[in-house]
Amino acid sequence: MQREPAAFLWDVLDSALAIGRFTADMDGTVYAASEMAQSAVERKFEVIGEALNQLSKLDPGLAAHIPDLPHIVAFRNQLIHGYARVEASTVWNVVQDSLPKLLDAVQSLLGGLGKS
């Protein structure tokens, strides 16, 4: 059975909120020193990237409203398949700079679908 497009958006929302909880009391230095936080955050970014990849296949029109979707999927692929480890500072910058925009976009889309 095929999932509804909103289910993928919920996956993104849940993972983005989890990243926020995981990093709430951290700065970049504390994050870089915490293997556990890095592992948890990277796993949630993997979920986000996979959910958006699947959404783009299921509903390209809806997926087109996600800013930087190709970059998000590429980031997921780098985390999983990259030949070199993604630096903690890079992940931290994504958490600080890009994740809030993604969270806003997903919440807006879910609200527009009547799923907020």
pTM as predicted: 0.93
Helix (H, G, I), strand (E, B) or coil at 96: helix
User: Residue 113: its pLDDT value, please?
Assistant: 83
| Domain-embedded: residue 40 | yes
* Structural domain includes residue 116: no
- Segment 33-38 long-range contacts (CB within 8 Å, at least 24 positions apart): 38/88, 38/91
pLDDT digits (tens, 9 = 90+) for 31-76: 999 999 999 999 999 999 999 999 999 999 999 999 999 999 999 9
Q: How many domains does the chain have?
A: 1
- Give the C-alpha separation, 2 to 39, whole Å: 30
Residue numbers of the domain that contains 21: 5-111
What are the distances in angstroms from CA 35 to CA 29, 42, 87? 12, 10, 12
